[in-house]
Structure 1
Amino acid sequence: MPTPQSVPTVDPRLARALGRPQRGDSVARRTGRSLRKLTASAAQDVAEQTRIARELQQPVTTGRVVAVTSIRGGVGKSTISALLGRTFNHYRHDPVLTLEADAALGTLPVRMGAESVRWACVDLAQILNPAMQLTDITGYLVPVTDGGWLLPAGQGRVGAPLDVRTYRTVTLALRRYFAVTVVDCETLPGEVARTAMDTAHARVVVAPMTAEGVGGTRQVLDWLAQLPHSALASTVVALTAGSPDMLLDVKAATAHLRETGVTVISLPYDRHLAGGGPIRTDMLGQTTLEATVRLAAEVMQRATRVR
């Protein structure tokens, strides 16, 4: 097949509008955190960090697939996928892939810091064969700046949605090469999203911190509980704040979701993530960074339970 043309992820005319990225924490928050660190127990911090690192570095016998979805768009699904992909790559020493399975003008390539994209899932599905080595495969992928690889769903244009057959072909083949594949799915109840949630080793449901978002996510969790295998046991909810002034009671929302038996990790509002541009982990707020690492550790723990 002909080689696709390279396409920039952000229109050059729009790139200027992104401006300089902000730090996730304000100066006041960073100062307050430094003061609190002076009275914190260093031994406890080190023990917790060691435990989390051990979870994230667990060896796998076959590639693990982590599906990320939500009940609607605009709630941080691609952001969570990008954060997970970067976190797994930071802690692990084997190859990590972040795969976009949402062809509806997804933002994952931008969030991962890709300047341009060329090969997409549907292109790769047509040329994959068992004789390929990792070095062959990575020639069709986008290298991520701080490590890892990205496979986009499209080239930033409105196109046909990814079909289940293509999704299965690509994910089953790439599991041979990558220890962890984070899949940024379309929103539920899309067919590919349902397939991904049903077949993944671990699942992340991104829930916006709103009454409607939490209520709809609870329905998704009830659906997962009805699947013929332990889908709910390998699911984690990422509760995201889209504004610094959330009216919903976080404890009550978390308790409502935890009634199903899932773990809920709350990610606070972060000015850097709210900017919508490429994610730089060194610019994230400290609480965001800590919550992301906890989320990744919880997901990896569940992914490695499945053999």
Structure 2
Amino acid sequence: MTAHRPFTSQPVQLVEPVPTAIPTARPTAAVAPPRSIDELELIRRAQLPPSKGWRRWLYRLSFGSANPGQSPAELEYEQLLRRVRQPVRGNYKIAVLSMKGGVGKTTTTIGLGSTFAALRGDRVIAYDANPDFGTLVYRIHRDSDRTVRDLLADKEVHSYSDVRSYTSQARSRLEVLASERDPSVSEAFNERDYTAALRILEQFYNIILTDCGTGLMNSAMAGVLKEADALVLVSSAAKDGARSAGATLEWLSRHGFDDLVKRTVVVINESRKGSTALDVEQLKSYFAERTRAVQVVPYDDHLAEGDTIDLELLGKPAQRAFVELAALLADDFPANVGRHVPAPGPSPW
């Protein structure tokens, strides 16, 4: 007898088979290439010891075992020095000028040139192009009585040592080529003479500073402006000096030297001791709108002597000001692509 399945009211549920997942290949992670030996920090770099402040005392009291490193101010100064020491391709020519006498033009030339020479390893020379008895050579210890006229008269100049016999050298290593001492001869110093001497100096010096006369209309000045890569325009911290400096910029712009004006660094020379009624910050703002940069050189007893200048005898503020000035000029070194050529136009000379 056959057994019957009992009757139920529940519907029969059909169970679907569970699909089997098909294994897929995992994406292969990118394998970084092995590092080179230069990428490994194998050496624990030593810090330079501090030179002043509590960091210096800690370093000395611990006999060098505790070295907190240089202070932010020291690191900032190191960066300033790196700017001054930027390489220069070929040579770089800086004209230092002012329309008004007695504002510190020659002092600025020696201070700036000495700073470049002391902090860099290449050759730096200051060239006196003042046709009216220039005094540049008297601001260093003179060791040669020869002048630019003697250099031009020598047709056998073929090496640096040949030129060196016509220059004087300061303790900073700055060399100076003196102008003619005879006023009747120096008045005849013209654009052709200036350019001829410059062609000689370009072969042996990396930075060439020209200490210009106070006038803009002499023939030598025509050569100076045509050859300059940058200008340093010196003004006193007085209204009449600032007015003369502003007039110089206007004259340069009117006579096709706009590009040179844009590459001008104005130096405001505080030649008087103590505070002044002049608002130097407003003066800085005035020149900053018209030129590339402005640098203030504070009053310094050693500079005020009007005699030979030794960087080591300057006070810290003046030393720092000249380093900052040198850094401003060196910032333009990479853009040095050749001599300045004025825009076409009638010659003012």
Q: TM-score range by the shorter chain?
A: 0.7 to 0.9
1:147 aligns with 2:169: no
Question: Is the alpha carbon distance of 1:158 and 1:265 closer, same or farther for their aligned partners in structure 2, counting shifts above 3 Å?
Answer: farther
Quote the offset at 1:206 in angstroms. Answer: 0.5
Q: How far apart, in 1, do the equivalents of 2:201 and 2:169 lie?
A: 15
Aligned to 1:295: 325
Whether the aligned pair in 1 keeps the contact of 2:237 and 2:278 (CA below 8 Å) is yes
Q: 1:72 to 1:303 in 2, by over 3 A?
A: farther
Name the structure 2 match of 1:25. none
RMSD: 2.3
Distance across 2 between alignment mates of 1:106 and 1:251: 32
**In structure 1, what is the Cα distance between the partners aligned to 2:198 and 2:73?**
37
Q: Which has the higher contact order (CA 8 A, sep 6+)?
A: 1
Aligned residues: 269
Corresponding position of 2:216: 189
Identity %: 25
* Aligned mate of 2:287, from 245, 257, 267: 257
1:166 alignment partner, one of 165, 188, 193: 193
Q: Do the aligned partners of residues 194 and 62 (structure 1) sit closer, same or farther apart at CA in structure 2, a change above 3 Å counting? A: same
Distance in 2 of aligned mates of 1:294 and 1:156 = 36
Query: Within the alignment, does 1:95 sit opposite 2:123 as a pair?
Result: yes
Aligned to 2:32: none
Secondary structure of 1:256's partner? helix
Deviations 1:104-129 (A, max 9, x none): 23221121222x54221122122256
* 1:197 Cα offset (Å): 2.8
The structure 2 residue matched to 1:212, chosen from 219, 225, 240, is 240
> Is 1:266 aligned to 2:296, yes or no?
yes
The answer to whether the 8 Å contact 1:118/1:155 transfers is no
TM-score by length of 1: 0.80
Q: Is the 8 A contact 1:64 1:304 kept in 2?
A: no
Counterpart CA distance in 2 for 1:172 and 1:128 is 13
Give the direction of change, closer, same or farther, for the CA distance of 1:198–1:37 in structure 2 (3 Å limit): farther
Deviations 1:172-230 (A, max 9, x none): 22111001111111113143234313321111000111111112211222333452562
What CA distance in whole angstroms lies between the structure 1 residues aligned with 2:217 and 2:107? 19
**Residue type of the alignment partner of 1:54:** R
Distance 1:94 1:228, change over 3 A: same
> Against the structure 1 CA distance between its residues 229 and 253, is the aligned structure 2 distance closer, same or farther, given a 3 Å change threshold?
closer
Q: Which secondary structure does the structure 2 equivalent of 1:230 belong to? A: helix
Match of 1:106 among 127, 131, 134: 134
What is the DSSP-based 3-state SS (H/G/I as helix, E as strand, rest coil) of the residue aligned with 2:179?
Answer: coil
SS in 2 for 1:81: helix
Asked if 1:56 is matched to 2:84, the reply is yes
TM-score with structure 2 length normalisation?
0.71
Distance 1:236 1:37, change over 3 A: farther
Question: For 1:132, what is the secondary structure of its paired residue?
Answer: coil
**Match among 306, 311, 314 for residue 284 of structure 1:** 314
- Give yes or no for contact 1:187–1:193 (8 Å, CA) kept in 2: no
Amino acid at match of 1:111: R
Q: Find the counterpart in structure 2 of residue 28 from structure 1.
A: none
3-state SS of 2:259 partner:
coil
Shift of 1:238: 0.6
In the TM superposition, residue 275 of structure 1 has moved relative to its aligned partner by 0.8
Q: Is the 8 A contact 2:263 2:291 kept in 1?
A: no
Structure 1 residue aligned with 2:261: 232
Q: Counterpart of 1:169 in structure 2: which amino acid?
A: A
Tell me, yes or no, if the aligned pair for 1:188 and 1:194 is still in contact at 8 Å: no
Letter in 1 for 2:248: V
Q: Which residue of 2 aligns with 1:126?
A: 153
Whole-angstrom CA distance in 2 between matches of 1:46 and 1:294? 14
The alignment partner of 1:61 has SS state of coil
Q: How big is each residue's C-alpha offset from its partner over 1:82-137, in whole Å with a ceiling of 9 and x where there is no partner?
A: 011111111111111111111423221121222x54221122122256x6011221
Residue of structure 2 equivalent to 1:243: 272
SS of the aligned residue for 1:231 comes to: helix
Measure, in 2, the Cα distance between the counterparts of 1:47 and 1:292: 18
Whose helix fraction is larger, Structure 1's or Structure 2's? 1
1:181 counterpart SS class: strand
Change (3 A) 1:216 1:37: farther
Aligned-partner residue type, residue 102 of structure 1: N
2:209 partner letter: V
Structure 2: tracts of 5 or more residues without a match? 1-51, 56-68, 338-349
Deviation at 1:259, TM superposition (A): 1.8
1:76–1:240 CA contact under 8 A, matched in 2: yes
3-state SS in 1 of match to 2:146: coil
CA distance in 1, matches of 2:221, 2:72: 39
